[in-house]
Chain A
């Protein structure tokens, strides 16, 4: 009984929150609009746009701009944010051996995740374009995208599961290996394989995204142009490299930069499966550890700022490319 009433109470308070939230915003706009209406015509025109984007800007300021600036500020303070320490946190970030591993791994993530998911996505998009069961194939490739990073990590933990030799293997990969008479491999422990095993999960999750966007671009190429190239003397390979790739290059760039950003932010998979142990550390996971395990706010903030600085130029390229693409329509 008690749990049921708690449940009902939760539903009620949720509904109330929605009502107050949405109603509150609506009321805010109505009231503000009324107030603007009182002003003389000329001033009205000037102020009205601000009434509508104003609340959004305020919210963004509180949720994005302020935390960012505060993080930058904290990165110059010590662990408990009490004393100014200058560049000490940054020096730590670029000299610490664990950070070096994280930087190396992020670079690995960046190169491999981007190359593999964009490459595979592109290949699947182009190949399925000529197949009858296109929809089915693409659905299967796309499905992982609906799974959260944490969920995917749990699934793959089973795929990579390792039992000692002579014990039945419950992991898919090792069952296959022992099935053909090979030794099982501790995928997530072995330093030669663990980073690649983690990145493979990222590829599995991101390929669908790349494929869908690239497939739309490939379909946008008129059939006539591909046929003209074939009549002109191009084989399949030449059509792909000289016609398809250049014609969808701006889409490839947008997709690639999006994946690059997700590689730089790589965290969930590593956190769930290895927590950065045995040489699998990444910058974001390191930041989490400094923040919540070691409670060193200064260092965590410095790492966050480094990550931010790495992402900004890519974001800029991405936005510019996107605008170019829009302008072409």
Chain B
């Protein structure tokens, strides 16, 4: 159990800056998820913490201990690899016992811990098998088991679910969350899948091009994204963005483009007032665009029209691919709606959940 701190951490590979001034304080017992598109530096950040890569500059602490020059074996961490990286010449039991034996743990203690972990993960019947004789899901469990028997200060996970099929992934996701509660240890988890990040994390670090974009709990990240990238990356389908201008008229504030004019709710006017007359990026999530007829009650809405291009029926909802003028956008609407491609429909926008971004800095206006 320990906190983890990144202080001005840089990692360069030749001219490429993989990690750029990373500053994160991860509290003890936290489940922190690094998320970002592939090649964004999230795995590198994890490997720096594991000691598998050397830091170019900056400091990393595990607990109070500066670990910059500490080899991986002395960092008291355990890591689950994307490929699981099980030792093919050892049985499941030996795979799990390997780390403990290296640390000169007494035999009966090793036996107790391996069997306990196997019990938790439901892999007791597999202890005598070799990794080759296991399915993907079983191997994944062994890899997790190998990490937990060590009882490390910090657990590192490098995309551990990406080699599992969809159903198993969902199931394992829940199990990892449970495991985190049970072990009450710091988990640091890397994924490119924002659903994994949203469902498991206590906090999410969104990374792009080696730069930390935002660090926040999942719901806050979703509701109050700091910039256009985070807003677009978190959520599926992703947020719609429109180039617009903020216009004041008769004491009211409007988001105006060539094809729509939407009133800003009164309670938000204070925040946005200083941007009046300026260009902004208007962001709205697909679920905040309703078909007017099926608008839920109690929503501060504004109306606009859209031309239907494609409809995707998902059963519990419909994804509408729409156009306003030449600008495409997506709405997630009530499944009772009967619309066909080519229709021009009336939409209601839930302006209570609107987002505005500065077009120059792409930062949220708040």
Which of A's residues lie within 8 Å of B, judged by CB? Answer: 222, 224-225, 227-235, 238, 242-243, 246-247, 249
Interchain CB contact under 8 A, A231 and B87: no
Q: How far apart are the CA atoms of A242 and B98 in the complex, in Å?
A: 9
On chain A, the residues within 8 Å of B103 by CB distance are: 233
9 new A-B contacts at CB < 8 Å, known A225-B85, A232-B98 = A227-B85, A228-B81, A228-B87, A228-B146, A230-B72, A231-B50, A231-B77, A231-B156, A234-B102
Interchain CB contact under 8 A, B81 and A230: no
Q: How far apart are the CA atoms of A228 and B90 in the complex, in Å?
A: 14
On chain B, the residues within 8 Å of A231 by CB distance are: 50-52, 72-73, 75, 77-79, 156
In the complex, B137 has a CB within 8 A of chain A: no
Cross-interface CB contact of A222 among B85, B89, B98, B102, cutoff 8 Å: B85
Of chain A, the residue at the smallest CB distance from B80 is A228
Interchain CB contact under 8 A, A229 and B81: no
User: Would A224 and B72 be within 8 Å (CB), given that A231-B78, A231-B79, A233-B103 are in contact?
Assistant: no
B110 to chain A, nearest CB (A): 13
On chain B, the residues within 8 Å of A233 by CB distance are: 73, 99, 102-103, 150
Size of B's binding interface in residues, CB under 8 A = 25
On chain B, the residues within 8 Å of A224 by CB distance are: 81-83, 85
Cross-interface CB contact of A230 among B71, B86, B87, B150, cutoff 8 Å: B71
Which of B's residues lie within 8 Å of A, judged by CB? Answer: 50-52, 71-73, 75, 77-79, 81-83, 85-89, 98-99, 102-103, 146, 150, 156
On chain A, the residues within 8 Å of B98 by CB distance are: 229, 232, 234, 242
Q: How far apart are the CA atoms of A231 and B71 in the complex, in Å?
A: 9
B63 to chain A, nearest CB (A): 17
Interchain CB contact under 8 A, B50 and A229: no
A-B contacts, CB under 8 A, total:
64
Q: How far apart are the CA atoms of A242 and B90 in the complex, in Å?
A: 10
Of chain B, the residue at the smallest CB distance from A232 is B99
Of chain A, the residue at the smallest CB distance from B50 is A231
A292 to chain B, nearest CB (A): 49
Cross-interface CB contact of B52 among A225, A227, A243, A247, cutoff 8 Å: A227
On chain B, the residues within 8 Å of A222 by CB distance are: 83, 85
B34 to chain A, nearest CB (A): 17
- Most chain A Cβ neighbours within 10 Å, of B77, B79, B103: B79
On chain A, the residues within 8 Å of B89 by CB distance are: 246-247, 249
On chain A, the residues within 8 Å of B99 by CB distance are: 232-233
Q: How far apart are the CA atoms of A243 and B88 in the complex, in Å?
A: 9
A223 to chain B, nearest CB (A): 9
B187 to chain A, nearest CB (A): 15
User: Would A228 and B79 be within 8 Å (CB), given that A233-B99, A234-B73, A234-B102 are in contact?
Assistant: yes
The 7 closest A-B pairs by CB, nearest first: A224-B85, A232-B99, A228-B85, A233-B102, A233-B73, A246-B89, A230-B72
Q: How far apart are the CA atoms of A70 and B113 in the complex, in Å?
A: 66
B89 to chain A, nearest CB (A): 4
Of chain B, the residue at the smallest CB distance from A228 is B85
Of chain B, the residue at the smallest CB distance from A230 is B72
Of chain B, the residue at the smallest CB distance from A221 is B88
Of chain B, the residue at the smallest CB distance from A227 is B52
